């Protein structure tokens, strides 16, 4: 059994690790999940400037991604709809209505040059064999922008999940520039669907935001939704409005969807209902307002890590400097190789070193003749002549030697030296170079397509309890003892589905419940009212009860200041018999005593106001040390009573 348990534990850990790192959570370095990275790698591989059928791209990508074509197709469509790295042609769905894309054989795509400038540099990218060992795929692209914030991401793994909201690319670039320059910055999400957004609880990517639809309320009898909140489609939003109307929460006459390239949902109101009466209800009961939680979880150094948006910007600012440094270093090495090659060619041809090999009969003697020919010019060379250098020189065709242009060679050398000098200068000022690179990328962006869509504002979330009207009758069936909104009988209160109801049974037991549909309270219920703190604190309960052992009558006056929902409480001490419960401040009652020999006074009338108010758990005050048979209650209409009431 221990072996089986260890086997299951090890397999589960491997599975969990795989799902977290290789399926659900994006990598911080390039902001991509593995399937997205493989799609972009495939598009870069097959790129010839023309559009490719999505079906063909999916097929090509399957040699890197071992989880089937459906996941590749869905990820490709979602990535293309971000309109950042992929040009699309055909029906890729509608983000407003939620309509799906056409089949992969009907739509086409290609990689944008922007993707190459931000992601692609194979000379500084680490590659590993694909799952079948036939191809090479990148471990990560060394991205020059924090794509994890620009693209956003959602994913559920084993024991953890991520929800990263998308941000505006121009604002991300501005934040990264500010970070490099040591200036303060702040970042807030931005969504392509627009709408309004309250970021007061965003907490730098680890809190939540509240989003709202943008409403045109210029017409008193019509509301037009022009932008929808993130996470909704026109279809789901309309469904939520219709459901709220059917349940009586909002009053509308009709709703029409005219959405095409932009959102246009028209809500017509009923006669006598005006826009100002419906707006809050739309926010409270429909998808016109939503709360979205964020959880910025990424893979960093092969481990899942929670980060803030500020942390991501700081990390990528350093990464950009590192990537640019590596690119310059690689370019410098390439230029040095070119400069060395041009110098070798010039000396080889100008000094006629090739003449030295005419009489040589073996490969070794040929190579030695070339090497010996360069010895007088060692000071002009960048490095020693190698075997590969000799091979390169020996492959120069005779035609090129005879037509050799020394001026062209000198011009090329001059250009290389100028670039090398520029690279040296850039390497000494990498931060300034990184800022200028970001400015260059920003200049290439389409101003209209990359402007902020979602307006950052501040608004108070609409509480459903504040919007709903108390118009549902709570009725009591005296005969059968049922209380609730689904009961036929005497109307006690007008309530909402969110109210709590306080009621006292005939036995003196009181209970607080949510607005009941039908609950048994028994015949002769003493009291029914609202259980909110403000309403309940105003009610003074007078309880008249009798001790069955002594038959003494007691009076207790108190208020209810605390309770637990759906729990029964007894106003009187245990074992007592409750005779009457009243909520009037002033009334009179008569205690009828047991007849006994030589006792002439057999009753006593008291006013409730004569008894002091006590705590809920206090004992009652004994009326008199005499056995009582009953109590009768009447209204107190005296002037004194009226004064007490006032």
Q: At 236, which helix (H) or strand (E)?
A: helix 234-246
Joined together, the tokens standing for residue 177 give 């520039």
Q: Cα 611 to chain center, whole Å?
A: 59
Q: Which residues are known to be catalytic?
A: 106
Cβ of 29: how many Cβ atoms within 10 Å? 22
Q: Take residue 319 and report the two structure tokens written for it.
A: 């990464």
Please tell me the distance from the alpha carbon of residue 269 to that of residue 250, in angstroms, as a whole number: 9
- Sign of the alpha-carbon torsion through 642, 643, 645, 646: positive
Strand arrangement, sheet containing 541-546: 577-582, 541-546, 553-558, 621-622
Q: Spell out a b/e string for 131-169, using b for 16 or more CB atoms within 10 Å of the CB, else e.
A: eeeeeebbebbbbbbbbbbbbbbebebeebebbbbbbbb
Q: Which two tokens stand for residue 84?
A: 């950042």
**Which element (helix H / strand E) includes 144?**
none
518 CB contacts (<8 Å, ≥6 apart)? 482, 483, 484, 485, 486, 487
Distance separating alpha carbons of residues 218 and 237, to the nearest angstrom: 21
Q: Which of 201, 171, 197, 169 is nearest to 186 (CA)?
A: 171
Residues 6+ apart with CB under 8 A from 138: 37, 41, 125, 126, 127, 128
**Please, which residues bridge with residue 224 across strands?**
216, 266
Tell which residue, 366, 327, 387, has the closest CA to residue 122: 327
Alpha-carbon gap, residue 90 to 572, rounded angstroms: 77
Task: Please count the CA atoms within 13 angstroms of the CA of 510 that sit on its side-chain side.
Answer: 26
Structure tokens at 183: 């200036």
d(CA 254, CA 527) in angstroms, rounded, equals 43
Residues 6+ apart with CB under 8 A from 273: 251, 252
Residue 110 bridge partners (DSSP) = 87
- Please list the residues that pair with 633 across neighbouring strands: 589
Instruction: Tell the burial category of 360 from Cβ atoms under 10 Å away from its Cβ (0-12, 13-18, 19+).
Output: middle
């Amino acid at each position: 059994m221990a072996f089986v348990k260890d086997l299951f534990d090890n397999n589960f850990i491997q599975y969990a690790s795989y799902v977290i790192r290789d399926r659900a959570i994006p990598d911080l370095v390039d902001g991509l999940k593995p399937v997205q990275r493989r799609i972009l790698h495939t598009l870069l591989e097959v790129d010839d400037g023309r559009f490719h059928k999505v079906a063909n791209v999916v097929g090509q990508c399957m040699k890197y991604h071992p989880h089937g074509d459906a996941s590749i197709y869905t990820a490709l469509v979602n990535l293309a709809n971000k309109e950042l790295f992929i040009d699309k042609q055909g029906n890729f769905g509608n983000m407003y209505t939620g309509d799906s894309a056409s089949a992969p054989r009907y739509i086409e795509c290609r990689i944008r040059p922007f993707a190459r400038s931000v992601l692609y540099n194979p000379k500084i990218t680490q590659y590993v064999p694909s799952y079948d060992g036939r191809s090479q795929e990148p471990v990560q692209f060394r991205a020059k922008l924090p794509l994890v914030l620009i693209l956003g991401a959602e994913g559920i793994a084993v024991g953890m999940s991520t929800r990263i909201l998308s941000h505006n690319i121009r604002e991300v670039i501005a934040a990264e520039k500010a970070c490099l320059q040591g200036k303060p910055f702040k970042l807030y999400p931005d969504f392509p669907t627009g709408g309004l957004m309250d970021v007061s609880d965003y907490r730098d990517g680890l809190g939540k935001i509240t989003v709202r639809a943008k409403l045109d309320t210029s017409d008193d009898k019509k509301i037009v939704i022009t932008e929808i909140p993130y996470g909704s489609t026109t279809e789901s939003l309309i469904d939520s409005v219709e459901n709220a109307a059917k349940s009586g929460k909002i009053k509308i006459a009709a709703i029409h969807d005219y959405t095409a390239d932009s959102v246009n949902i028209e809500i017509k109101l009923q006669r006598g209902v005006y826009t100002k009466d419906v707006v809050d209800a739309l926010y409270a009961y429909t998808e016109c307002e939503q709360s979205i939680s964020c959880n910025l979880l990424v893979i960093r150094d092969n481990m899942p890590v929670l980060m803030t948006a500020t942390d991501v910007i700081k990390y990528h600012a350093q990464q950009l400097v590192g990537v640019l440094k590596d690119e310059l270093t690689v370019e410098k090495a390439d230029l040095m190789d070119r400069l060395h090659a041009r110098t070798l060619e010039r000396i080889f041809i100008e000094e006629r070193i090739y003449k030295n090999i005419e009489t040589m009969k073996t490969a070794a003697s040929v190579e030695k003749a070339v090497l010996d020919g360069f010895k007088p010019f060692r000071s002009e060379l960048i490095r020693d002549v190698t075997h590969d250098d000799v091979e390169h020189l020996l492959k120069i065709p005779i035609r090129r030697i005879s037509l050799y242009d020394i001026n062209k060679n000198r011009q090329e050398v001059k250009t290389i030296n100028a670039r090398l000098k520029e690279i040296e200068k850039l390497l000494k000022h990498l931060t300034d170079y990184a800022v200028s690179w970001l400015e260059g990328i920003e200049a290439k962006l389409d101003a209209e397509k990359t402007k902020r869509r979602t307006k950052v504002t501040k608004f108070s979330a609409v509480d459903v309890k504040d919007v709903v009207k108390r118009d549902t009758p709570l009725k009591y069936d005296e005969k059968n003892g049922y209380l609730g909104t689904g009961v036929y009988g005497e109307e006690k209160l007008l309530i909402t589905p969110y109210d709590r109801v306080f009621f006292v049974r005939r036995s003196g037991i009181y209970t607080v419940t949510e607005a009941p549909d039908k609950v048994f309270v028994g015949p002769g219920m003493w009291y029914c009212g609202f259980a909110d703190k403000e309403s309940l604190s105003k009610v003074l309960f007078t309880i008249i009860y009798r001790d069955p052992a002594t038959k003494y009558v007691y009076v207790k006056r108190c208020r209810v200041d605390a309770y637990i929902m759906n729990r029964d409480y007894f106003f009187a001490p245990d074992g007592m018999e409750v005779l009457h419960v009243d909520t009037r401040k002033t009334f009179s009652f008569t205690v009828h005593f047991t007849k006994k020999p030589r006792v002439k006074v057999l009753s006593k009338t008291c006013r409730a106001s004569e008894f002091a108010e006590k705590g809920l758990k206090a004992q009652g005050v004994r009326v008199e040390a005499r056995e009582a048979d009953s109590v009768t209650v009447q209204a107190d209409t005296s002037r004194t009573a009226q004064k007490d009431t006032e």
